[in-house]
Amino acid sequence: MYLARGNYQFQVESLEKDGIGKLYEEYEKLKTRLSNQGLFDESNKLEIPSYPQKIALITSEKGAVLQDIKNVLNRRAPSIEVNLFSSLVQGEEAEQSILNNLNLINEIQPQYKYDLLIFARGGGSIEDLWSFNDEDLCRYLAEYDIPVISGVGHETDFTLTDFVANVRAATPTAAAEIVSEGASKLNEYFQFLNQSLTKEIKQKINQLADKLGTFRRLLRSPTLRLLEQ
């Protein structure tokens, strides 16, 4: 800074595009590479079962995400069993924590037979969600034998695991709604059948009651008929 002239001098060591940032550039580069290698192809994705009975859930045991998912499932499909695999979902050790849980689920799958897997966390900045852009995690998920639903962030947040997963849910709550959709519809169908059956039985009882009333009016006492004879 030159006080006499009021001038400043800057020595520039690096430049970044305004509004994009280094992380976003890395995200786009990795996204393009994984896409070109076929990791996002729909033909490679497993079908999500319509009526899952047992679900593996990878998320933090702290925070609102776990409770939100539980609330939705308890309301829409209380018969679904959910097993929590508590994991770090942010920070330098989060990727390895998630991978460790994926390995554990894979090892116990022959015994527990999970119908699908959900991994979820709430919204945040690109730095907060960066664990879900990890290349090793994406490649592992692409080869996973259990159908996977990614419920990471808010509706406007996209991570690379969203593209690799079999289904991307806009929010963790939406992930719970997806897995409970079939059970919820089935429950509504059972309620409809119950109401229809109850209505039909009441109508049948009323018809038979009217018929019985008619028979009662027509029926004469045997004693009376004997006296007449």
pLDDT tens across 71-83, in order? 999 988 888 999 9
Ranking 16-30, 110-124, 189-203 by mean pLDDT, the lowest is: 16-30
122: left (phi over 0), alpha (psi -120 to 50) or beta: beta
Please choose, from the candidates 107, 46, 120, 116, the residue with its C-alpha nearest in 3D space to the C-alpha of residue 82: 116
3 state DSSP class of 159:
coil
The residue type at 147? P
Confidence grade of residue 184 (pLDDT, cut at 50, 70, 90): low
Residues 6+ away with beta carbon under 8 Å from 65? 59, 120, 121, 122, 172
pTM for this predicted structure: 0.73
Mean pLDDT, rounded, of the chain: 89
Average pLDDT over residues 192-218: 88
Average pLDDT over residues 105-118: 95
Please choose, from the candidates 158, 178, 165, the residue with its C-alpha nearest in 3D space to the C-alpha of residue 72: 178
Report the share of the chain in percent with pLDDT over 90.
59
